[in-house]
Amino acid sequence: MSVQALLIGLSSAIFLVYGFLCFHSDFMVSDFRRFGVPELRILTGVLELLGGAGLLVGYKWPRALRVSSGGLALLMLIAFCVRVKVRDSILESLPSLGLMLLNGYILRKSIDLSTVNA
pLDDT at 1: 78
CA distance 66 to 104: 10
pLDDT at 116 over 70: no
**What is the model's pTM?**
0.93
Residue 118 lies in a domain: no
Q: Is 84 helix (H, G, I), strand (E, B) or coil?
A: helix
Q: What is the mean pLDDT of residues 92-103?
A: 98
CA distance 80 to 96: 5
DSSP state at residue 38? G
pLDDT at 118 over 80: no
Q: Is 77 helix (H, G, I), strand (E, B) or coil?
A: helix
Residue type, position 24, single letter = H
Structure confidence at residue 95 as a pLDDT band (50, 70, 90) = very high
Domain residue limits at 92? 3-111
Residue 64 lies in a domain: yes
Q: What is the pLDDT of residues 25-72, one digit of tens each?
A: 999 999 999 999 999 999 999 999 999 999 999 999 999 999 999 999
Q: How many domains would you assign to the chain? A: 1
Residue 45 lies in a domain: yes
Residue 23 lies in a domain: yes
pLDDT at 103: 99
